[in-house]
Amino acid sequence: MRSSSSAASEVYKGQTGGVEEEFLLVDAVSGECVPDCERVLAAAGPHPWAASGGSFQVELLASQVEAATGVCRDLPGLAAQLRVGRARLAAAAREGGALLVASGTPVLDGRPPPPARGDRFAAIMAAYGDVVEDYQACGCHVHVGVPGRDTAVAVVNHLRPWLPVLLALSANSPFDHGRPTGYASRRAVAMARFPGAGVPPWSASAAEWDARVAALVEAGVLVDEAMTFWLARPSPRWPTVEVRAADTAATADEAVLQAALVLSLIPL
């Protein structure tokens, strides 16, 4: 009988991957979201796996931060990076009286925070107005390395029927701004307001995918190619398929489970 660690390692089947997790920052007393991303990121310092792509980053609004693992080759290694990243950001948040919250949407009500600083975030706010003004949704994005963009598009096509299942298994946003929403994933509803959201279109090739995205950007529907909110896509930055279906997981172990499910669905 194989050990659990051996079985977990075999899920990767020689693939590489990583996970990006988005989090909310809330006041430790009131529980309301606070625009504290710059202080928290400065206190957290560089990511321990920065040499292999790990990072701590701002998100769209100043009440959010992101932890991205470096390149991982097995699930135990992924789990270690996720736990360390969460712990580092949580400690940095506590230093200033805030808490790091792993929820797909804000649980309590409060004033909308300002956007994070940067020209791209300003362009997004200008393009989408009220749709994005209080978009504090947080997701867990699983990256899987693939050998080329045509393969990436083929993998996205293959994943299309499974994306709602991955979302349902990960749902972690039943509350939003102080009220029960009636949804297991209010984040998914918030995302659906954006163009380029939901299950991705089927594409015959990378050229067809790229032409569709370029047309949406040229028409002003998308700010840039990175604004595609589809639940899976060829990453615009890395040589990976990026699966964006899941809400941010309540625990690191649940994030590892989401990654394992994604990896098991990709026949490379």
For CA atoms 107, 120, 241, 209, give the dihedral sign: positive
Angle at 22 between CA 267 and CA 44, to 5 degrees: 120
Contact 87, 107 (CB under 8 A): no
Please report which helix (H) or strand (E) contains residue 77, including its range.
Answer: helix 75-95
Taking only Cα atoms into account, the Rg of the chain, rounded to an integer number of angstroms, comes to: 18
Contact 70, 52 (CB under 8 A): yes
Over the stretch 109-152, which tens digit does the pLDDT of each residue have?
Answer: 888 788 888 888 888 888 888 888 878 999 999 999 999 999 99
Please report which helix (H) or strand (E) contains residue 128, including its range.
Answer: helix 119-128
Per-residue model confidence (pLDDT) at position 121? 84
Cβ density class 247-265: b for 16+ within 10 Å, e for less:
bbbeebebbbbbbbbbbeb
The whole model's pTM is what? 0.93
Contact 53, 71 (CB under 8 A): yes
Distance of alpha carbon 119 from alpha carbon 135, whole angstroms: 18
Catalogue all structural domains in the chain, each as residue range(s) with its CATH number.
12-265 (3.30.590.20)
* CA terminus-to-terminus distance, the chain: 25
Per-residue model confidence (pLDDT) at position 131? 84
Spell out the residues 6+ positions from residue 28 whose beta carbon is closer than 8 angstroms to its own. 94, 97, 98, 99
Q: What is the mean pLDDT of each run of 10 residues along the chain (268 residues)?
A: 42 82 97 96 96 94 96 96 98 98 94 83 86 90 96 98 98 95 97 92 98 96 92 94 98 98 89
Per-residue model confidence (pLDDT) at position 3? 38
Spell out the residues 6+ positions from residue 113 whose beta carbon is closer than 8 angstroms to its own. 33, 34, 35, 61, 62, 63, 136
Distance of alpha carbon 85 from alpha carbon 71, whole angstroms: 14
Residue closest to 115 by CA, chosen among 99, 102, 128, 96: 128
Over the stretch 211-230, which tens digit does the pLDDT of each residue have?
Answer: 999 999 999 999 999 999 89
Question: How far lies 81's CA from each of 30, 47, 92, 99, 101, in Å?
Answer: 30, 10, 17, 20, 18
Distance of alpha carbon 210 from alpha carbon 225, whole angstroms: 9
Give residue 217's identity as a one-letter amino acid code: V
Angle at 185 between CA 119 and CA 92, to 5 degrees: 55
Per-residue model confidence (pLDDT) at position 13? 66
